[in-house]
Structures are given as structure tokens and as C-alpha cells.
Amino acid sequence: MNRPEQQNSSIDLNQFNQVFFEECAEHLAEMEQILISLADAAPDSEQLNAIFRAAHSIKGGAGIFGFQDMTVVTHVLESLLDQIRNNEIPFTTAMIDLFLEAGDVIAMQLAGHRDGCEVRQEAIDQIRTRLRQVIDGEMTTAPVAVDITAAANSACLHADGGPRFYELLFTPAPDIFKRGVRLENLFSELEDLGELTATAQPTISAGLDENLDPEICTTCWKLTLVTTASEADLRDIFEFVADENQLKVRQIVSPQAAPIQAAAPGSAPPSPADSTQNAPCGTALIQAQLGRRAYDKNELAPGAYGRRGGEGEATIRVGVAKVDQLINQVGELVITQLMVAQTAASLDPVLYENLHRSLLQLERTTRDLQQSVMSIRLVPISIVFSRFPRMVRELAAKLGKQVELKTIGDSTELDKGLIEKITDPLTHLVRNCMDHALETPDTRIAAGKDASGTITLRASQIGGRIVIDVIDDGAGLNRAKILCKAAERGIPASDSMSDEEVWQLIFAPGFSTAEAVTDISGRGVGMDVVLRNVQSIGGRVQIISEQGKGTRVTVSLPLTLAILDGLSVAVGSEKFIIPLNSITESLQPLADSLKSVNGKRVIHVRGEYIPIVPLHELFHLKTSVTEPEKGILVLVDVDGEKAAVLVDTLLDEHQVVIKSIETNYRKVAGTAGATILGDGRVALILDVASLLEMRKSSAFAQ
Amino acid sequence: MQSVHETANNNQMGLPSEYLTFTLGNEEYGIDILKVQEIRGYDTVTHIANAPEFIKGVINLRGVIVPIVDMRIKFKVGEPTYHEFTVVIIMNVLDRVIGMVVDGVSDVVALAPEQIRPTPEMGAALDTHYITGLGTVNDQMLILVDIEKLMSSEEMQIIDHSN
């Protein structure tokens, strides 16, 4: 019986590895995001430190988890970054690309360990050599000149009212504590002025003994302060605390020293602190401070206990499975609460007033709890958007196009599961824009447009759905070309089709109008995959295009995969949930509003003829209500397509937890999952779009 | 998958494996006990649209949607009646939870490898394809079923084979 235990321990190790993989991927993404955001400018020390931290963490993690090969590249990268950080090597824009490539190599190694992907050793060796070369100073010297001007500029700034360095020697009177002076307040006031370091020295020469009076101050403080404030300001703070002879203030640097040092060839832009390095006296302390690793700096700050600096909000890394379990359990709680409420509803409201009041409270609390728990899974779409700037930048360079990428609504939140699944389709769409839609600068100028094309990614929440638009101002779709290509590929199409129908043709498998197949796109595997992926998560794709002006592809997704507002309806003995966001209205039809077209029944509502979809026919259910005038018609609208679903009666409106049928069974046509009703029974949730599809295919079959 | 190995191992090592036995019509069947999660009574099921007749529908098993298969309908044995004594075996197969309606659950028996005989070609309700062997317990024949293979088969229509 040792076997299971062994298995457990190996699983555990894998779990740790998994954590490393996740962290490593996050660090890589962070690094890339910073590099891209630089947009060819030199990074500030904060950004440089963040990149360094990322590389350092990857290296550390790789070492701990025994992925020695991953430490090789990260080590060289880290050394280089460290030298840049310490201004030993000037930063050049060429390094951005180099770092990006290094990131790719590390990502490749990561994928190799995680998914068993192929790892190309020569790429690893190559990037290592190139990083080495930079460290060994084989970079061109040209960018240094730029750095010097920058340095001079910053040095000039520094001279006019930049921060100054003070050394304060504070020897308080022995009775200072008895006077009720609080030194910590004093120091925090100084800290408000600038960067403060304090060193305490005991003034008694004898060792500590029992006679030591804790109320007598036997310490003097040596303080260094970097501030723009004047000496008088500093003395003000000590006004009621220290006499003239108890406080000595000394300014320790002459600002003029800075420009001379900064102008030295090959030196990088100095931070104000740097300029003190050659100053004659009193700099040892400051230098020592500079030598500390930058990420240690915030470690002593309040709230930073045990954390590295630069990490903004406090977060906890929790496995998705745990969150899902929580969501499930809360779902169960909601169901139980409903069951209790249903039972209690039959009790006399006067006799059981307290019970009813408590139940109302319980309902509110469970709803709130459910909302909070659901929101755990929501993440901002910027996670997806952030990967596009780099892709666009690289593709634009490859294709010789000028492209500007705009993102709107980065903070729109959607379910983590959706984020993972929407990434690939969006990548396809952006690639398509780059390759097919946007023209080269010459063509654009000839067409009277700006040489640089624009791709806009826009995310927003509209009702119960997340809508993501990929908009370009390129050439637009070519109707004639698409029809011609469709005919060539044997895809059924005709000239009489509306524009919308023609645009839908590009979703057909194997369809591509690109004249040349490039390594970016053109193999025609794009759009059908996009459509399939989006549909698999309950989304829809819509295209609006105008020739010469551009194209807008709209992907609309459900807000979350886990919860839904629905209307419960009954057909025979079965109950179904219709998603509320697809319902426009419900009505009891009058006999004279019902018409027949080609033997199919339609209902006439406010000037529109809407086809009737009898649910019992589609699902082969037994019910006494087979005629529309005896039942209820639920008017639904899915992306402009309307239908009237015939059901027996309407029951109630619920917020339901979506459960997958597919976990234990297979996909059921016409449904988007199942839920558990207040009585503990299962009800299927209807997928209106797929219902309409069913109706069409059954109509064709007849 | 672990339990499969364990059973196989036990067999190789000559140790007895345990089987849950149930009746379908006049025949006695056995499935690996490690595949069984629980046994419960038959509850109201929710009908699934356009599913084959032997898939009775889905139930709510403590928040999990579980499909229920009636083997009596599938293999045309016994009487598909539903009352308080109707038994559903909830199984864990292929990382799924599936319920199976049978005529009755009888016992748990341990069978050593030497008690299991290979299957002759014969006309059991189940295709011999899914039968791993025949056991003998108290002079009664027990048909041992590879329930994982059966449930994943195309004819059960539980798993989507189109993808």
C-alpha cells in the first residue's frame, strides 16, 4: 500500500513546480510589459529594478526547483541588468530587443519544462553569447553620447534647487524623555522633508549595568538627510528640542561637483545621489546606502514586512480549484437558502414574523456572499491586452507597416476562464488586422489616409455581456473578392446575399483571401478557429466593414461562466431556464396576431413577423399546450435574430448558478448547461442561439 | 487510473480483487468496487432533450450534475420500473460521475485471479467486448464487466466522440 503515498509525494512536487511555472510566466510577462512600455526610451531606476527583480526571481526559482538550464540565461541577463543598474554599462535601445529575445528564450525553456515543448539549444547559446558581448563592452559607443547630454541636463536641473545633503549630529539633553519629547515624531517630521538615515551612538562609555535609568537619554544620533529644504527649516523642527550646541547641521556637498563628473565619457546619467560620489567628505554613509540592492529599500517601510518592494497591492496566490470549490459551495448555500425560504413561505407570516425577517436577512447575506465570491474569479482584460503591444510592434516591423495600437477599457473585468480562452481568438484577429486589413504606408497615403494605421482594442460591459471590439482603419473587407473566393473554395454563396451574410463567409473553414500565404496569416485557418473558440465559451462574433474605411470585429462574451439571471419556464413536466439577457418580452398571443408563412407559424408583434419556436417540438416533450394561443410566447433576441419561444407557463425569475452538463455527460444541443432549482431538481438552461440553429436545421431536414 | 493499476497489480500478485455484484434481468454482473462511489435510491430525474431512451436524464448529486443510465433499457433486460427499491450505482469512471440503474445490488465479493475464467463467445446481454472474465461465487456465475470501457463506448453516448 505504499504506492498511493509515493504517488502523492510526486504529485506534491509537481504542484510546487506548477507554482514556479506560474510565477515564472508572470515575471516574464511583467518584464516584457515594462520593456514594451519603455518605447525606446531609457528605463528609470524603478523600471530597471523591476526588470532586474523579475530576472532575479526567475533565476532563484529555477535554481530552487532544479531547472539548472534556466538559470544559465537568467544569470547572464541578471549580471547585465545589475551592471546597468549600477551605471557600469550605459543603457541602449538595442538592449530592449535583446532583453525581449532573452525573455523569449526563457519562456521557451519554461515551456520545455512545463509542456515538454521543444527547446532549441542554439537559441539559448546565441542569446547568452550576445548578452555576454554586451557585458564585455562590445556595444557601439554611439548611444553614450546621448546619455551624456541627458546626464548634463539632469545635472543642470540638479544645480538649480535640487536636493541637498545634510549631516546632522543630534545630542539630546539627558532629560529629554522626561520632558515628554518623542524622538520618533521628530524623525518622521524630518522624513517628510526628504530621505532620512539615522544612526544611533551611545554616549556613555561604560557598559550597560543595572543602574541604567531608562528615562535618561544616553544616545546621540547621526542623521543624514537628502532634501530640498534649507538649513533653517531643519533647525525649525528641532526648535523646542535642542539647543544650539545639541544640534550640529552641516551641508556636505557642493552641487557644482556634479556636472563635471557626469560629463565624463561613458558614464551613465547620474541620479542626484551619484553626484556626491566624488565629493570630498562625508559620503561614505551615502555610498553604503547606494550599494544596497534597490529592492531591499522598501523592506523597512510600513506594511512592507516580509515583502519585496515594488509589489503594489497585497495579493494571495490561490489555486483556481480552491476558488471554484468555494463558488460551488456558495452555490449550494444559495440553493439551500432557497429551499428553506420555499418551506418557510407556507408558514403563517404573523405567527412566524421573526423567522421571516431572519430569512430575508439570510437571503441578502447569501446574495452578497455569492457576489463577492464570484468577483474573485474576475480579472481585468488588460491581462490579454498587454500582450499585444509587443506583437504589433514586431509584426509592424516585419511587414513594413506603421501601426498604432490603442486600447480602451483595459480595466473591464471578466472571468479568468474566459480570459484564458479569449486570448487566442483575439491574437488571431489582431494578426489579421496587421496582415490583411492595414495597408502599407504608401498605399495609405495614396488613399488619402494617415501613413500610420490604427488598431483599436476596446472592451466594455454592455448589459450581461462583455463586448470586445477589434477595430482597424484599414482597407475593409472586399465583397467581390470574398464572393469570388467563396465560389472558388466551393462555399455556397450568391450575389444577392446581404453584406452581413457575405462577411460571415470568412468564418468558413479554409477561407483566406490573402494573395500570398505569409508566416503571419493567410493559411485560412484563422477565422473559423476564432469563431469556434468564441462560440465554445458562449460568445458570438460580428463583423461590420466598410470598404476603404476599415473593419470592426465585435466579440461578445457572457460576463461569467458561472452565474446567470434567468427566467424559469415550464413545458409539460419539465422546467427550463431562459437567460434573461436574451429575452425582450413575454406575451400571451391573441389568435389574430398569429399567421402562417410556408406552413411555419409566425407572430405579428408591432409590425414585425417573428417565427415561433415551439420548445416541445424541438425537445420532443409531452405537453398539453401545443397551440401558441394557449401558452406563452417568450420573445428572444440573439444578435439581431428574433424568435418567439413557445412554453406552457412562466414560473419565476432566478439568479442561477450554471453547472456544466459536460463534466459528466456530453454537450446537449440547445442548452448552455444546467442549474439546480430551489427544490433540488436539475433544470436545463437554454442557449437561445443554439435553439435557433436547431430550429433552422430541423426546418431544413423537413 | 490508480485503481486500475491496483486491481491489475492485485491480480498479478495473486491477491483477490473486490467486485460489487448486481443483477440485470436473470444475470449477475460484477464491477470493480473501486469504481463505485456510492449506491442510492432512484430520485426524480430531469429529462435531457433528444437523448437516447436509456439515458434517463440528470440528477443533482450534492451540487454535481450526474447523468443516469438505465442499463435495463439499454440491454433490454428486466423491467424498467421505478419505485422506492430501484437502485442507482453512482460510479467514478473516466474522471466522470455516472449513475447506473440496475435491477438490484447483491453483494461485494472477493475473487482471486484463479477464480476468474476467460470469457467464451456467448450471448450475454452485454457484448463480450466489455466482459473481462467470468467468476464463480457459491456456484453462481458472475459476469465481470470493464465498466470504464463500457461507459466510454460510443454506443453508450455518454462521451462526445465527435471531438
What are the pLDDT digits (tens) for B60-88?
A: 887 788 999 998 888 887 678 888 888 99
Number of domains in chain B: 1
- Alpha-carbon dihedral A445, A447, A453, A459, rounded to 10 degrees: 160
pLDDT of residue A205: 57
| Residue type for position B14 | G
Q: Which residue of A has its CA nearest to B66?
A: A664
pLDDT of residue A525 exceeding 60, the answer is no
DSSP state of A106: H
pLDDT of residue A700 exceeding 70, the answer is no
- Has residue A155 been placed in a domain? no
From chain B, pick out residues whose CB is under 8 angstroms from the CB of A683.
46
Grid cell of B132 as nine digits: 473481462
From chain B, pick out residues whose CB is under 8 angstroms from the CB of A335.
63
| Contact (CB, 8 A) for A603 and A695 | no
Question: Same domain, yes or no, for A308 and A324?
Answer: no
Q: Which of A328, A665, A676 is the mutation pick for testing B, counting most B CBs within 10 A? A: A665
Instruction: Check CB contact under 8 Å for A682 and B62.
Output: no
Nearest-Cα distance to chain A for B118, in Å, is: 28
CB neighbour burial string for B85-105, b if at least 16 within 10 angstroms, e if fewer: ebbbbbbbbbebbbbbbbbee
Query: What confidence tier does B139 reach under pLDDT thresholds 50, 70, 90?
Result: confident
- Has residue A656 been placed in a domain? yes
pLDDT of residue A479 exceeding 60, the answer is yes
Question: Same domain, yes or no, for A293 and A398?
Answer: no
DSSP state of A307: S
pLDDT of residue A151 exceeding 60, the answer is no
Residue, of A159 and A573, whose pLDDT is higher? A573
pLDDT of residue A15: 65
B163 and chain A: CB distance < 8 Å anywhere? no
Query: What confidence tier does A46 reach under pLDDT thresholds 50, 70, 90?
Result: confident
pLDDT of residue A336: 82
- Has residue B70 been placed in a domain? yes
pLDDT of residue A512: 61
Query: What confidence tier does A469 reach under pLDDT thresholds 50, 70, 90?
Result: very high
From chain B, pick out residues whose CB is under 8 angstroms from the CB of A619.
49-50
pLDDT of residue A55 exceeding 90, the answer is no
Question: Same domain, yes or no, for A544 and A575?
Answer: no
Question: Same domain, yes or no, for A551 and A592?
Answer: no
Q: Which of B3, B60, B64, B155 is the mutation pick for testing A, counting most A CBs within 10 A? A: B60
From chain B, pick out residues whose CB is under 8 angstroms from the CB of A329.
63
Nearest-Cα distance to chain B for A682, in Å, is: 6
Instruction: Check CB contact under 8 Å for A663 and B158.
Output: no
Question: Same domain, yes or no, for A504 and A622?
Answer: no
Q: Which domain holds residue B131?
A: 4-151
How buried is A268 (Cβ within 10 angstroms: 0-12 exposed, 13-18 middle, 19+ buried)?
buried
Helix axes B2-12, A2-38, angle to 10 degrees: 150
Nearest-Cα distance to chain B for A638, in Å, is: 21
Q: Which of A524, A558, A592 is the last residue of a domain?
A: A558
* CA A531 – CA A426 distance, rounded (Å): 11
Contacts of residue A142, defined as CB under 8 A and 6 or more positions apart, other chains included, come to: none
Domain CATH for B57: 2.40.50.180
pLDDT of residue A407 exceeding 80, the answer is yes
Q: Which residue of A has its CA nearest to B154?
A: A666
From chain B, pick out residues whose CB is under 8 angstroms from the CB of A660.
65
The mean pLDDT value for A365-391 works out to 86
- Has residue B159 been placed in a domain? no
The mean pLDDT value for A486-515 works out to 75
Instruction: Check CB contact under 8 Å for B64 and A668.
Output: no
Contacts of residue A552, defined as CB under 8 A and 6 or more positions apart, other chains included, come to: A469, A470, A471, A472, A543, A544, A545
Q: Which of B48, B59, B152, B157 is the mutation pick for testing A, counting most A CBs within 10 A? A: B48
The mean pLDDT value for A94-101 works out to 82
Instruction: Check CB contact under 8 Å for A668 and B51.
Output: yes
pLDDT of residue B12: 52
pLDDT of residue A142: 37
- Has residue A501 been placed in a domain? yes
- Has residue B137 been placed in a domain? yes
Q: Which domain holds residue A614?
A: 563-700
Average pLDDT value for chain B: 81
The mean pLDDT value for A336-341 works out to 83
Question: Same domain, yes or no, for A337 and A391?
Answer: no
pLDDT of residue A543 exceeding 60, the answer is yes
A351: three-class secondary structure by DSSP:
coil
Question: Same domain, yes or no, for A133 and A98?
Answer: yes
Write down the residue that cell numbers 473501486 correspond to.
B34
pLDDT of residue A458: 92
The mean pLDDT value for A159-164 works out to 56
B81 and chain A: CB distance < 8 Å anywhere? no
Query: What confidence tier does B91 reach under pLDDT thresholds 50, 70, 90?
Result: very high
The percentage of residues in chain A with a pLDDT greater than 90, rounded to a whole number, is: 5
- Has residue B157 been placed in a domain? no
The mean pLDDT value for A331-336 works out to 80
- Has residue B138 been placed in a domain? yes
Number of domains in chain A: 5
Residue, of A80 and A639, whose pLDDT is higher? A80
Query: pTM of the predicted model, to two decimals?
Result: 0.48
Average pLDDT value for chain A: 75
pLDDT winner (highest mean) among A7-21, A88-102, A150-164 = A88-102
Contacts of residue A342, defined as CB under 8 A and 6 or more positions apart, other chains included, come to: A678, A679
pLDDT of residue A243 exceeding 80, the answer is no
- Has residue A157 been placed in a domain? no
pLDDT of residue A3 exceeding 60, the answer is no
| Residue type for position B11 | N
pLDDT digits (tens, 9 = 90+) for B20-55: 999 888 888 899 999 999 999 888 888 888 888 889
DSSP states along A366-432: HHHHHHHHHHHTEEETHHHHTTHHHHHHHHHHHHT--EEEEEE-TT-EEEHHHHHHHHHHHHHHHHH
Question: Same domain, yes or no, for A396 and A434?
Answer: yes
pLDDT of residue A162: 61
pLDDT winner (highest mean) among A77-91, A230-244, A509-523 = A77-91
- Has residue A553 been placed in a domain? yes
- Has residue A650 been placed in a domain? yes
Q: Which residue of B has its CA nearest to A1?
A: B6
pLDDT of residue B161 exceeding 70, the answer is no
Question: Same domain, yes or no, for A296 and A338?
Answer: no
pLDDT of residue A684 exceeding 50, the answer is yes
pLDDT of residue B116: 85
Instruction: Check CB contact under 8 Å for B63 and A682.
Output: no
pLDDT of residue A313: 56
A302: three-class secondary structure by DSSP:
coil
CA dist B105 → B29, B49, B68 (Å): 9, 29, 16
- Has residue A159 been placed in a domain? no
pLDDT of residue A576: 92
Grid cell of A561 as nine digits: 461562466
Q: Which of A266, A287, A312 is the last residue of a domain?
A: A312
Closest by CA to B135, choosing from B57, B59, B32, is B32
pLDDT of residue B162: 59
Closest by CA to A36, choosing from A283, A336, A405, is A405
Instruction: Check CB contact under 8 Å for A664 and B44.
Output: no
The mean pLDDT value for B110-131 works out to 77
pLDDT of residue A8 exceeding 60, the answer is no
How buried is A141 (Cβ within 10 angstroms: 0-12 exposed, 13-18 middle, 19+ buried)?
exposed
Q: Which residue of A has its CA nearest to B65?
A: A661
pLDDT digits (tens, 9 = 90+) for A379-401: 888 888 888 888 888 888 888 88
DSSP states along A484-542: HHHHHHT----TTS-HHHHHHGGGSTT----SS--SSS-SS-HHHHHHHHHHHTT-EEE
pLDDT of residue A150 exceeding 70, the answer is no
CA dist A579 → A176, A177, A463, A540, A564 (Å): 73, 71, 12, 15, 7
pLDDT of residue B99 exceeding 90, the answer is yes
pLDDT of residue A232 exceeding 80, the answer is no
| Range with the poorest average pLDDT among A275-284, A349-358, B33-42 | A275-284
- Has residue B162 been placed in a domain? no
The mean pLDDT value for A373-381 works out to 84
The DSSP element (H or E) to which A558 belongs, if any, is: strand A550-558
Domain CATH for A597: 2.40.50.180
Residue, of A420 and A253, whose pLDDT is higher? A420
pLDDT of residue A456: 92
Question: Same domain, yes or no, for A526 and A420?
Answer: yes
**Closest Cβ opposite residue B58 in set A3, A619, A665:** A665
pLDDT of residue A291 exceeding 60, the answer is no
Interface predicted TM-score (ipTM) of this complex, two decimals: 0.81
Domain CATH for A70: 1.20.120.160
The mean pLDDT value for A284-293 works out to 39
- Has residue A124 been placed in a domain? yes
From chain B, pick out residues whose CB is under 8 angstroms from the CB of A535.
none
pLDDT of residue A231 exceeding 50, the answer is yes
Its sign, for the CA torsion A314, A318, A324, A328, is: negative
Residue, of A453 and A147, whose pLDDT is higher? A453
Q: Which of A312, A331, A347 is the last residue of a domain?
A: A312
Question: Same domain, yes or no, for A20 and A100?
Answer: yes
Question: Same domain, yes or no, for A515 and A573?
Answer: no
